[in-house]
Amino acid sequence: MDWVAVGLKEDVPPGMVIPSRISDTELALWCTPSGRYHAWSDRCPHRGMRLSHGFVRGDTLACIYHGWQYNEAGSCEYIPAHPKLTPPDTICVPTYACAEAGGVIWVSLAGTDMPLPVLGGRVPIRSLQISLSAPDLAAHFGAHSFTTIAVVSDHEALLAVQPCTDRTCMVHALAAPDADRKVVSRWLEDLRATLEGVPS
Amino acid sequence: MNAAIDNHWYPVAMISGIDAPRETLLLGKKISLGREDGTCWVLDASGAELPTVERFGHLWTSPGQPNRDLFTIPEADSPGRRLVDVGSVKVKCSPLRAVENFLDIAHFPFVHTDILGAEPHTEVDRYDVKIREEVDEVWATKVKFYQPQAAKSAAGGITTEYMYRVPAPTCSVLYKTCPPRPGEWDVITLFVQPLTEEWCEVWPWMALYDDESTMSEMVSFQQLIFMQDRSILENQLPRKLPLDPGMEVPTQADMTSVAYRRWLKKIGYTYGAQLVAA
């Protein structure tokens, strides 16, 4: 599978974890204090608690329920209830390929050899939820893939589409560095109204 | 009908809270309840009368034919205790997850930070767990944990001793060191009404020695604790409790939960449980 945008860099500052998703796969998206991004299955293997409710401590993500700490490879390296125990290698969280490029965080669930999307120097403007499935949104623009959709005629915008549910997706929009952010933002809201069939 | 599930007593209301007749759910089925001339009644969806017991400030019923009486808590009858109806909290999780969380101490420093636990006091020492065959209950004893504020009545941090008891699939009784009377046990219970397999109403109840705190202070303390638990319970995946090993990873600190799951499996209690086949 291709790279999918799951959030903007500015929404996940160092030391932060947030929930995200690609269709039915729920993700815990987090950033180490030194700025490395990770996308993991949003479930602690101990008791099934969502890791996106956890906290970043050093270069680990800790579960909020019992404080189990997972290193950047997703392996459990500390169990507070048993401080002297070295946790077995078998306790680990499923991890996904994750990288930041152009201010956008990208995830590939199946892993990929594809290079990260080329953004042509555009900068992130904002993320917007739209009540339309990702394939339907791509079809609106006549695009086959929804990794990125170029809308050159309007502010040289580039839309990176994140499939969420059968009826919703998240659009992460980028535009030329010299574009007026307010104008682009307004254009996006109009676009959403059109796509959702609401008179703007 | 499933006797292994239906033939138990379930809490369905706090007696002091029954003013007018009302409907609720028990095991996914509609029931109605009320009180007339000081006596509580419960009807099933067809209008048939269900058996009732009034105990521990709560109304209990059963959709089946319970083969034993509702459990008792003899310690709670000793004089001088304050009996505290905490009220109810509805939680979107399996009733079994709610009970299991109540049996867990390792989460105290992270979920009840600076109240029931605090880093760096996170270690859980070995304790004893047993399924007491003669009474068919799960018991954990000699459980010890350092607590900054063990109860409303505690003046500072103490190492608290706990005993846990599971006398029914959706109920647990906790006996814990009483801060003002170290030789006695405070009694804190969690009575869980299974509304559906993934939705429950939790009725905590307490029998405490505490001559200082007001009733509302004791209620608020316990409600705060349970609100913190709810933020966990509504975010565990899956919502049902996995009974078979493999989906979750227990450690030595989880011996009570391991015994609880094993006991549920042994008695065939699958309501709110996730089995491998499911």
Same domain, B26 and B144: no
User: Could you give the number of structural domains in chain B?
Assistant: 2
Enumerate the residues of chain B whose CB falls inside 8 A of the CB of residue A49: 232, 235-236
Same domain, B195 and B125: yes
- For B:156-175, CB contacts with A below 8 A are none
Question: Confidence band (pLDDT; 50, 70, 90) for A66?
Answer: very high
How distant is the Cα of B147 from the closest Cα of chain A, in angstroms? Answer: 14
Enumerate the residues of chain B whose CB falls inside 8 A of the CB of residue A47: 236, 248
ipTM for the whole predicted complex goes beyond 0.90: yes
Cβ-Cβ contacts under 8 Å between A and B: the total is: 64
pLDDT of residue A199: 58
Same domain, B43 and B167: no
Distance from C-alpha of A35 to C-alpha of A40, rounded to nearest angstrom:
16
Residue B3 domain boundaries? 1-70
pLDDT in tens, B104-136: 999 999 999 999 999 999 999 999 999 999 999
Half-sphere exposure of A33 (CA within 13 A, CB side): 7
Query: Identity (one letter) of the amino acid at A8?
Result: L
Same domain, B124 and B254: yes
- For B:108-137, CB contacts with A below 8 A are 109-111, 119, 122-124
Higher pLDDT, A12 or B181: A12
CATH code of B158's domain? 3.90.380.10
Mean pLDDT of the residues in chain A? 94
Say if B144 is an interface residue toward chain A (CB within 8 Å). no
Task: Average the pLDDT over A51-61 and give the result.
Answer: 98
For residue A195, pLDDT beyond 50: yes
B235/A49 CB distance under 8 A: yes
Question: Confidence band (pLDDT; 50, 70, 90) for B96?
Answer: very high
Same domain, B85 and B50: no
The encoded tokens of residue A43 equal 């479930």
% residues pLDDT > 90 (chain A): 86
Are B67 and B60 in contact by the 8 Å Cβ rule? The answer is no
For residue B66, pLDDT beyond 90: yes
A64/B119 CB distance under 8 A: no
Of B44, B70, B96, the residue at which a domain comes to its end is B70
pLDDT of residue B278: 46
Half-sphere exposure of A74 (CA within 13 A, CB side): 20
For residue B98, pLDDT beyond 90: yes
B111/A65 CB distance under 8 A: yes
Nearest-10 Cα torsion for A112, A114, A120, A123: 0
**Domain boundaries defined on chain A:** 4-108, 123-195
Considering only alpha carbons, which residue of chain A is nearest residue B120?
A80
Same domain, B173 and B250: yes
Task: Average the pLDDT over B248-275 and give the result.
Answer: 96
Task: Average the pLDDT over A93-115 and give the result.
Answer: 94
Q: Select the highest-mean-pLDDT range: A17-21, B78-82, B150-154.
A: A17-21
Helix axes B255-266, B95-102, angle to 10 degrees: 140
For residue B277, pLDDT beyond 80: no
Enumerate the residues of chain A whose CB falls inside 8 A of the CB of residue B245: none
Are B43 and B21 in contact by the 8 Å Cβ rule? The answer is no
- For B:209-248, CB contacts with A below 8 A are 231-232, 235-238, 242, 247-248
Same domain, B212 and B252: yes
Same domain, B117 and B40: no
How distant is the Cα of B122 from the closest Cα of chain A, in angstroms? Answer: 5
Distance from C-alpha of B107 to C-alpha of B101, rounded to nearest angstrom:
9
Same domain, B50 and B94: no
pLDDT of residue A93: 98
Enumerate the residues of chain B whose CB falls inside 8 A of the CB of residue A53: 231, 235
pLDDT in tens, B209-222: 999 999 999 999 99
Mean pLDDT of the residues in chain B? 95
Question: Confidence band (pLDDT; 50, 70, 90) for A200?
Answer: very low
Higher pLDDT, B229 or A144: B229
% residues pLDDT > 70 (chain B): 99
Task: Average the pLDDT over B138-163 and give the result.
Answer: 92
Higher pLDDT, A115 or A144: A115
Of B20, B39, B70, the residue at which a domain comes to its end is B70
Say if B15 is an interface residue toward chain A (CB within 8 Å). no
Same domain, B200 and B120: yes
Same domain, B192 and B92: yes
pLDDT in tens, A133-147: 999 999 999 887 778
Spell A17-43 as b/e; 16+ CB within 10 A means b.
Answer: beebbbeebbbbbbbbeeeebbbbbbb
Between CA B29 and CA B39, with CA B33 as vertex, the angle to 5 degrees is 145
B237/A85 CB distance under 8 A: no
SS3 B93: coil
CATH number of A4-108: 2.102.10.10
Question: Confidence band (pLDDT; 50, 70, 90) for A170?
Answer: very high
Of B70, B91, B117, the residue at which a domain comes to its end is B70
Are B204 and B226 in contact by the 8 Å Cβ rule? The answer is yes
CATH code of B18's domain? 2.20.25.680
pLDDT of residue A1: 54
For residue A113, pLDDT beyond 70: yes
Same domain, B65 and B14: yes
Provide the 10 A C-beta neighbour count for residue B90.
Answer: 11
Helix axes B95-102, B215-233, angle to 10 degrees: 120
Distance from C-alpha of A80 to C-alpha of A75, rounded to nearest angstrom:
15
Distance from C-alpha of B11 to C-alpha of A42, rounded to nearest angstrom:
34
